[in-house]
Amino acid sequence: MALSAPHLLLLQLFISWIFFLPRLCLCSVMQPVLLPLKAKAIPAGSILRPPNKLSFRHNVSLTVSLSVGTPPQEVTMVLDTGSELSWLHCKRTPNAASVFDPVRSSSYSPVPCLSPTCKTRTRDFSIPVSCDSKQLCHATLAYADASSVEGNLATETFRVDDSGLPGLVFGCMDSGSSSNPGEDSKTTGLIGMNRGSLSFVSQMRSPKFSYCISGRDSSGILLFGEARFPWLRPLNYTPLVQITTPLPYFDRVAYTVQLEGIKVSGKTLPLAKSVFEPDHTGAGQTMVDSGTQFTFLLGPAYNALKNEFLQQTKGLLRPLGDPNFVFQGAMDLCYRVELTRATLPQLPTVTLMLRGAEMSVSGERLLYRVPGMVREKDSVHCFTFGNSDLLGVEAYLIGHHHQQNMWMEFDLAKSRVGLAEVRCDLASQRLGLGV
């Protein structure tokens, strides 16, 4: 579920892949640099199998460069735990910097209408799949930022170094619309990583994956498989919410956790637990989403947090004082900070209380400087929690900005998410992946 933002925060993340033999949005970087695949061994005993290394960049989303097809073509894809189907742009447009050309690949195979794959149900398909004029499976995908893509389902080999995943189902998209066409044209597509049967992680049959995003420098890790590192503190696990009955507004293949409360500097907001629970329609689930930058709360929780944060920052921060300014359409708590000020004042910590675990957000991660926005001699900083009601999204979303310097493990086998605070730049260095 990708939400766009017009800011570049350059972060190069390295990825360690453990391959399991399988059965076998849209955000982008403002100045993309397609780096070649590299192989680098991690010290013996660190992981179960020798990994390969890819390059990551990130602004409002995480993107990975890898090769697809035979012979291989370099592509750049957004990593999105909120989406299922992986897809690539397959038709060059005047502004497109990166596309996949299926005509050049001998391993490309379109999915026919009569294939069972074409009948697979996924919430990613906002419009039911259909047959095109060539009797091929046609699909349309829509995202929360009003962007959409459409094209044909197909199978292809996705390669990392000398290893490959043959026969992986993806979307070969040849048209669509974007909320930010200039930037979205610079990525080739998206890797869907939720729990749906067509997601990348499901098709490669990996029981778990984890990532660690640095908020300071150009280092980080994405790992498929078991994270057995002596320096990694024990993870706190929160179970995934399981609802077997189909509900219209509940995404059953998302990484849904149970938010039970919110604290500001240790003070728990006076909200009933029912505020954080899905209602009879399924609206109100809490999703961990790497395809969304910031964190969004439903109205009652957001307003309570906003009021308490305002109260605890009186005298520390100067409110913007412009009721008409709402950053990204959902973030209406903004402040003026003197341009000459090097650091922000000490801010109250905001803690998301999950079932069995907590996620604390502090310091600079609480405020985001709006690029290019200056009021007299002040820059404009906005609170990094937004109002889901203003977005028209009936859910709580925990974005990757608040996952920085957290080891995030997605355990599909045991239906849980594990987390622990860690310096992700140091973790990357310990694994020999620092830049």
Q: Choosing from 145, 184, 251, 289, which is the catalytic residue?
A: 289
Would residue 289 show up in a list of annotated catalytic residues for this protein? yes
What are the Cα distances from residue 322, in Å, to 9, 44, 304, 329, 412? 26, 56, 20, 14, 45
| pLDDT value of residue 37 | 20
Q: Which two tokens stand for residue 275?
A: 């505020």
pLDDT at 145: 65
CATH 2.40.70.10 fits 236-430, yes or no: yes
Predicted confidence (pLDDT) per residue in 125-176, tens digit: 767 788 888 999 998 887 766 677 899 999 999 986 567 889 999 999 987 6
Q: What is the pLDDT of residue 205?
A: 86
User: pLDDT (tens digit, 9 = 90+) per residue, 407-433?
Assistant: 999 999 999 999 999 988 887 777 776
* pLDDT band (50, 70, 90) for residue 35: very low
- Local confidence band at 229 (pLDDT 50, 70, 90 cut-offs): confident
User: Is position 124 annotated as part of the catalytic site?
Assistant: no
- Residue 122 has a pLDDT of 73
Q: Encoding tokens for residue 144?
A: 């929360």
Question: pLDDT above 90 covers what percent of the chain?
Answer: 49
Query: What number of CA atoms fall less than 13 Å from residue 68's CA on the CB side?
Result: 31
Q: Which of 217-221, 384-388, 398-402 has the lowest mean pLDDT?
A: 217-221
Strand partners, 89: 173
Distance of CA 281 to the CA centre of its chain: 25
What's the confidence (pLDDT) of residue 36?
22
Q: Which residues share a beta bridge with 372?
A: none
| 88 has pLDDT over 90 | yes
Q: Any idea where the domains of the chain sit in the sequence?
A: 13-206, 236-430
The two domains 13-206 and 236-430 share their CATH topology (first three levels equal): yes
Asked if the model's pLDDT at residue 179 lies above 60, the reply is no
More confident residue, 209 or 195: 195
In this structure, are residues 90 and 153 in contact, taking their beta carbons and an 8 Å threshold?
Answer: no
Q: Which residue has the tokens 């310096």?
A: 423
Q: Is the domain defined by 13-206 classed in CATH 2.40.70.10?
A: yes
Contact between residue 350 and residue 360 where contact means Cβ atoms under 8 Å apart: yes
Ranking 171-175, 187-191, 358-362 by mean pLDDT, the lowest is 187-191
Does 270 score more than 90 pLDDT?
yes
Query: Do the Cβ atoms of 302 and 389 come closer than 8 Å?
Result: yes
Of 34-38, 171-175, 246-250, 282-286, the poorest mean pLDDT is in: 34-38
Over the chain, what is the mean pLDDT?
80
Query: Whose structure tokens read 């299926």?
Result: 102
| Better pLDDT: 180 or 329 | 329
Q: Does pLDDT of 52 surpass 70?
A: no
Please tell me the predicted confidence (pLDDT) of residue 164: 81
Which whole number is the average pLDDT over 209-234? 77
pLDDT for residue 311: 95
The pLDDT of residue 95: 56
Q: Which amino acid is at 171?
A: G
pLDDT surpasses 90 at 227: no
Indicate the residue type of 173. M
Phi and psi (nearest 5°) for 423? -80, 105
Share of the chain above pLDDT 70, in %: 78
The pLDDT of residue 267 is above 60: yes
Among residues 80, 124, 184, 425, the one annotated as catalytic is: 80
Q: Which residue has the tokens 């985001």?
A: 368
Mean per-residue pLDDT for 1-7? 42
Count of positions (residues) in the chain:
435
